[in-house]
Amino acid sequence: MRAWWASMFAYDQYEGSMENLFTWNDMNEPSVFNGPEVTMHKDALHGKWEHREIHNIYGLYVQMATAEGQIQRSGGVERPFVLTRAFFAGSQRFGAVWTGDNAAEWGHLKISIPMCLSLGLVGVSFCGADIGGFFKNPSTELLVRWYQTGAYQPFFRAHAHLDTTRREPWLFGPENTALIREVIRQRYALLPYWYQLFFRAYRTGMPVMRPLWVDYPKDTATFTI
């Protein structure tokens, strides 16, 4: 099945596909929105294994096959980009992840930092949160602050639910547009440094985004930050 899926990314199979078209695997896990587990029932078995034990491995295999498809379509010379929602140990080899369907709340902006730090510590460095929150509508200040935070997380994108109000940076007045523009420029100015950090993560496993205690393990004051 994974071989077939990968073959579907060939230019003569994927209508409208081009070299700069990459892939976002969303909902790439068995999802059942009704029932107490909001996924497949606990008594669903794969041989002797309960479904909850291996649920995220399915997402890993989808991401793996998608990355392989992008490599195959280029004759093996392309570096793939695959964003995935479901992931598992080893997913860092195949692309980026984001923190899921968050909301336009200050608490969700705050928690995006320890979430990305935790993911980096277990090897999944290419992570980020939806700027402004996926659900609900951010205040102007929250949106600006989220751009200013998200610009320094490894994966950086703005994204929102279809039913939210428009939130392009130029819709909040020239002063706020300028603040958002400036932090985006700062991110792109640091692009060579980002590449260096990602290469180091690839070679050594050192997280791209990391807590202070990783760099200062003898300073106990950093342990709770």
Closest by Cα among 108, 132, 130, 128 to 120: 128
Q: Tokens 């639910």 — which residue?
A: 161
Annotation marks residue 215 as catalytic: no
User: Which residue in 12, 43, 101, 130 is the catalytic one?
Assistant: 101
Annotation marks residue 101 as catalytic: yes
User: Which residue in 26, 43, 130, 219 is the catalytic one?
Assistant: 26
**Reduced 3-state DSSP string for 187-222:** HHHCHHHHHHHHHHHHHHCCCCCCCHHHHCCCCHHH
Counting other chains too, the contacts that 211-217 makes at CB distance below 8 Å and 24 or more residues apart are: 211/117, 211/121, 214/121
Q: What are the catalytic residues?
A: 26, 101
